[in-house]
Every structure is written in C-alpha cells, then in structure tokens.
Amino acid sequence: MSIPVIGTAVVNSTFWVSRLLMSIDYPVTNFVIVDNSGDAQIQSELYNLSNLSHKYVDNITIINLPANIGVAGAWNLIIKCYMKSAYWIIANDDVAFGPGLLKEMVDILKDQPQCGMIHPNKGDYDLGAWDLFLIKDTIIELFGLFDENTYPAYCEDADYLMRFSHRPIAKVVGLKSSYIHGTGDSRDYYDSGSQTTKTNPKLKVQLEEANKKNIEYLTSKWGAGWRTVQPDSEPFKSQPHYIGETRYDLKFVRSKHMGF
C-alpha cells in the first residue's frame, strides 16, 4: 500500500527538497511541497521539479503561496489539502530518507494499528524529534491541528507535545533505519540542521526574536511547567473560555468533502 502523503515546506532553497524527493524509495501517492518562500525564482524551480518523473511517486504537487504562512500553517495546509488520508508523513525539506526508512514506518502501522505517531529519531529526552514524523488521522481528530499562533516557526512541535502530557497516546519513537538532516545524521541536528538560519543572518535574528515571543505564548497557554514537559492539564487554564481556542474536527469536515 502506498504512503498517501509526504509533505514538506520550502523557504530559502530548492536544493534540499530536491534531495528529499530523490531519497524516496517506497511508493508514495502524493509528494506535496508548500512554497513558503514568496520568491519567484524558487517558485520557478519548484515548478520544474514538479514535472519530474519519479519511480516511486505518483503525484508531485507544489502549493504556491503569496507569503510565508509559517511552519504550523504549512503543516496544517498539508493535512487539510489531503484530509481524506489515513496519515501524513511530514518532513523538513533538508531531510533525506535513509534506505528502508519509509518501509519501516509503514510496517509499524501494519503491525501496530493503535500507533498514532511515529518519530524515527528519538530526539531530546526520547520524546521524538519533529524534523520528520508520521501522524495519523485519529490524532488530528483527538487533538486538532497545529497552533498557528506559533508563526513563523519554533514551538509548534512543543505545543503539540504538551497536548499528550495528560492524555498519552500510542507512539513509536526511534527506528532502526536512519535519515539525514542537513549535512549530517539526524541525531546531529543542532550541528547539521537549520539551513535557513545558516544562510540568512537577518532571518536568523527575526526567527530568534519570534521564538522568544512563542515561548512567552506557550507559557501563557500551558503554564511555566511546559519547559520541563509538565504543562497545565488544560490550555489557557486561567481563561477556560478563551475565544481564540479552536479544534479541527476532521471527521466533521470529511463529511462535507466536495470531492475536489
């Protein structure tokens, strides 16, 4: 059975996403790239990439945007555009799948149907790294989409992790197969990852400032304990009727699917 969707977002280059595409060694129905660059040159290069013929990929789709909608926004868009999928694999564009990794992820779902998420890299404190992950539709139904208040990047993964703290899910963390992140092994992310900040000093400063604000936002949402994965049991505890809190009901939205 083919993987329904592999999705990623591009900001500053097509080099890395080209490598990601070429590393696919298992059947995939849809490979989708969210163009978060707002750059005409990158848009043109992605168009050319979408016309390539790939042994394992049926459809290569580029979602061109007039502006950057952030990491959480891009992840949500991938999920929304392919809302009928049983699961989605989402990767940073500078990831490259190791041989057999995708097959191992699919086999886990076959052997462990209760599994809701897969993180091939154990990440910090064995909680799972978010540069590459698989998320099932049942998890979206229970916990909603990613919080786009974390625009443009950082903390979107931490926020989602907090939702599991008092409502544990079945997940697999750490696989036999490996993958590359940037110029090195995925376990060396802090040295080999973060291509955007490495190539654009101005953007690096902007992202660092945004990250400070996102940390403050998560503290207001989950309490100070979230930094040690001890969040409040409910978001915005002091504001139980917070008007901006939304939940994406996947099953309800699916029931109204237009067929295109």
Which tens digit of pLDDT belongs to each residue from 180-236?
999 887 666 656 556 565 567 788 888 999 999 999 999 999 999 999 999 998 898
Tell whether the torsion through CA atoms of 76, 78, 82 and 85 is positive or negative.
negative
Sort residue 140 into left (φ over 0), alpha (ψ -120 to 50) or beta.
Answer: alpha
pTM: predicted TM-score of the whole model, two decimal places: 0.92
pLDDT value of position 248 = 81
Structural element, H or E, at residue 2: none
pLDDT at 242: 63
pLDDT of res. 185:
72
Residue 77 DSSP class: H
Q: Who contacts 221 (Cβ-Cβ below 8 Å, separation ≥6)?
A: 147, 159, 162, 235, 236
Q: Where are the domains of the chain?
A: 3-254
Mean pLDDT value of segment 125-129: 95
Estimate the share of the chain in helix, then strand, then coil, as percent rounded to the nearest 5. 40, 20, 40
- Which of 19-23, 67-71, 197-201, 228-232 comes out lowest in average pLDDT? 197-201
Per CATH, domain 3-254 is 3.90.550.10: yes
Task: Give the pLDDT score at 199.
Answer: 65
Give the span between the Cα atoms of 75 and 159, in whole angstroms. Answer: 14
**What's the pLDDT at 240?**
63
Tell the burial category of 126 from Cβ atoms under 10 Å away from its Cβ (0-12, 13-18, 19+). exposed
Q: Is the pLDDT of residue 88 over 90?
A: yes
The mean pLDDT of 243-252, rounded to a whole number, is 79
Task: Assign 241 a pLDDT band (cuts: 50, 70, 90).
Answer: low
